C-alpha cells in the first residue's frame, strides 16, 4: 500500500476537477481525499503503486476540458490507512 500527495495549481477550481478526481480514484479502487486550498487543489490517494501510476496518467490525460494544470508537486508519503 502506497500513499501519494499531489498539490496542483492552475485552473482547477470551478471546473469540475474535484468530482473528476473522485471518479477516477473510485474507478481505480483508491482511497483518500481531494480538497481545494488557497493555491489550488490538494489530493491524497492511497492504494497499489500501479493504480497510483494509472491515477497520475488519467489526472493529466482525462482532466476536464477547462482545467489547466500549471504547477504540480507530488510526493510519496507514509500510508494513512484510509
Q: Where do the structural domains in the chain lie, given as residue ranges?
A: 2-77
Q: Is the pLDDT of residue 82 over 90?
A: no
Q: Is the pLDDT of residue 81 over 90?
A: no
CA angle 34, 40, 51 (to 5 degrees): 40
Confidence class for position 43, pLDDT limits 50, 70, 90: very high
Q: Per CATH, which fold does 2-77 belong to?
A: Alpha-Beta Plaits (3.30.70)
Residue 18 annotated among the catalytic residues of the structure: yes
Catalytic pick among 3, 9, 18, 26: 18
Residue 36 annotated among the catalytic residues of the structure: yes
pTM for this one? 0.92
Is residue 6 within 8 A of residue 43, CB to CB? The reply is yes
Share of the chain above pLDDT 70, in %: 100
Q: Is the pLDDT of residue 79 over 90?
A: no
Amino acid at each position: 500500500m502506497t500513499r501519494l500527495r499531489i498539490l496542483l495549481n492552475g485552473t482547477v477550481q470551478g471546473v469540475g476537477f474535484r468530482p473528476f478526481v473522485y471518479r477516477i480514484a473510485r474507478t481505480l479502487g483508491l482511497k483518500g481525499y481531494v480538497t481545494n486550498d488557497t493555491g489550488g487543489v490538494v489530493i491524497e490517494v492511497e492504494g497499489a503503486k500501479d493504480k497510483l501510476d494509472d491515477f497520475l496518467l488519467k489526472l493529466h490525460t482525462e482532466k476536464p476540458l477547462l482545467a489547466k494544470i500549471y504547477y504540480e508537486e507530488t510526493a510519496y508519503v507514509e500510508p494513512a490507512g484510509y
